[in-house]
Homo-oligomer: A and B are copies of this chain.
Amino acid sequence: MPNAPTEPTAKEDLPHPLAAEPIQLRSIGHLRRFRREQDIYGQDERSDTLYRVVSGSACKYLMRADGRRHLVDVYLPGDLFGLTCRAHHKFAVRAVADGTQIACYSRQRVEALAGEDLATATEIRTQSFEAIRRLQEQMLIVGTMTAQEKVLEFLVYFHDRTSTGRDDRLALPISRYDIADMLGISAETVCRAFTNLQERGVITLQGPRRITFRRR
């Protein structure tokens, strides 16, 4: 995996300001491996488990009765998901990359642990705050009017999330269709936006999923 192990060492405003997984939390988790497109949990499933991406990536989505799909979040290594206080999930989460590894924790045991282990409690709180931040940021993007801007802002947002340091390249883990379903526009429009951005010299495409930012 290209992701460097995240240092907890101080730099304020890291993409993930994550402490390492608390030792206590690690002790109650077990690892599972998922294939591409395989559901980690389904819509309406009971929410009795907490999850963490160890390697690969996953996305939270909802399928509508009419076949439309909505993507509401993408999870990268280190991210906790399944954070809810409701008994059932509304969304599903599936692996994006093949061979995605997920650590699973029993909700009951995590909750008990959060009551006694400060590191675990802090980790959950921090991760929740980060999820809120991500969603708000994404809301800005999706709420933007023109499709051009949506796509560009999405790329910048995703670059900020994945890049360590000053690399102006970006490797997209997701497809054009995923981006479309995330931004509420058609896949064709996403393509055209990519083409336009390249023509305008904002980005360069090495491959369909390898992007370099030119001027910011």
| Minimum C-beta distance from A174 to chain B (A) | 15
Chain B neighbourhood of A126, CB < 8 A: 85
| Minimum C-beta distance from A142 to chain B (A) | 5
Chain A 84-112 interface 0/1 with B at a Cβ cutoff of 8 Å (1 = within): 11110011000000000000000000000
Chain B neighbourhood of A118, CB < 8 A: 115
Chain B neighbourhood of A184, CB < 8 A: 142-145
Q: In the bound complex, do residue B133 and residue A73 qualify as a contact, i.e. CB atoms below 8 Å apart?
A: no
Chain B neighbourhood of A73, CB < 8 A: 136
Q: Which among A12, A71, A90, A125 has the greatest number of chain B C-beta atoms within 10 A?
A: A125
Chain B neighbourhood of A137, CB < 8 A: 90
Interface residues on A, range: 35 or more
Asked if A205 is at the interface of the complex by the 8 Å CB criterion, the answer is no
CA distance A131 to B145 in the complex (A): 24
Q: In the bound complex, do residue B13 and residue A133 qualify as a contact, i.e. CB atoms below 8 Å apart?
A: no
Chain B neighbourhood of A131, CB < 8 A: 128, 132
Query: A-side interface residues toward B, CB under 8 Å?
Result: 12-13, 17, 60, 62, 68, 70-73, 83-87, 90-91, 114-115, 118, 121, 124-126, 128-133, 135-140, 142-145, 181-185
